[in-house]
Structure 1
């Protein structure tokens, strides 16, 4: 089933793939796929080797509560999830995904739909996608320097301390005014779309 899921995701993309299509490709009933993997999100994370990670739980942990503390809650939720096995999963999965062009191309779709999308909707501002992409860049840096290329003392700080240190930067991206820059072609295009 995981081979069929991988093929389906690579062929159709994350958003267009379905549990039913994966079941058809694997030659099983859709109920069998749902029994073992639940929904499409969990099927995709299992395809990446992250069967025990529930992206919806991470997002809920971050988005439950006022927007004012969202940055700190997000850092705490992400770091707590990856700390459960001392970062071993991150060290195994991220290099594998990054070395696979198909999975690497799917990752932005998955992150956008399942992790960043709920935050975009929570912000309710026209440039929410830009803001959440800035947050993602900061979190990628935290994951890199905490787990992949551990830099001390950040790598050994408890999740609460990391959240207290990094959370305000994420919060600034989420809610503070973004700096104005001179308009160039790309900036004009982004401005016309509210981003």
Structure 2
């Protein structure tokens, strides 16, 4: 019989699952800002290096733990890839693209309902999305009230998601996504640069 070496346990068959469980609990209980890789590792009973091995960093851990259908950093990169004068169109196109996919719609509905019914989930999503999407988009605008402008866009998008996918309010629900992009993009662009 060999003696077990001191320290944290190595990765096992469900180590990744244990890390995700600990991360979900930490994100839900403490929020994004107060959650740390070391704390998650401690709660999962593993070394912090193993969390980095599986997830890379806190942003990746957040995306996995929340089971987001798309990485918010990729969303920000896609939105920012082009001229500022077309930002509103790119934002609504990417947003509807996520929601229009069957897997994306199912996950986003669950997430939206959770945010509306749970202050903890709302705070967690607010902190994570602010860091990974709102802050980079605001920085690209290079105006003093950029955060307000991007927040106004977010308010429009949340309203669109509620009316199209949760309340299923006609004709918004039955309107083709391309038509919604054409109608909503100018309003979003006005918020951003008007």
Normalised by the size of structure 2, how large is the TM-score? 0.80
**For residue 174 of structure 2, what is the aligned residue in structure 1?**
156
Q: Distance in 2 between matches of 1:32 and 1:9?
A: 18
**Contact 2:72/2:129, CA 8 A, preserved across alignment:** no
Q: Distance in 2 between matches of 1:40 and 1:84?
A: 26
**Contact 2:163/2:169, CA 8 A, preserved across alignment:** yes
Normalised by the size of structure 1, how large is the TM-score? 0.80
Query: Equivalences for 1:4-153 in 2 at 5 Å?
Result: 4-50=22-68, 52-85=69-102, 87-153=105-171
Unmatched tracts of structure 1, length 5 or more: 177-195
**Contact 2:31/2:120, CA 8 A, preserved across alignment:** no
1:153-179 C-alpha deviation (Å, 9 max, x unpaired): 322334332221111101000001xxx
Cα offset for 1:55? 0.8
Matched positions, count: 175
Q: Distance in 2 between matches of 1:85 and 1:45?
A: 19
RMSD after superposition: 2.0
Could you say which structure has the larger radius of gyration?
2
Does the C-alpha gap of structure 1 residues 160 and 152 become closer, same or farther in structure 2, counting only changes over 3 Å? same
**Contact 2:32/2:128, CA 8 A, preserved across alignment:** yes
Moved more, 52-61 or 63-72: 52-61
Does the C-alpha gap of structure 1 residues 129 and 150 become closer, same or farther in structure 2, counting only changes over 3 Å? same
Q: Distance in 1 between matches of 2:78 and 2:29?
A: 32
Instruction: Give 3-state SS (helix, strand or coil) of 2:184's partner.
Output: helix
Q: Distance in 2 between matches of 1:38 and 1:161?
A: 39
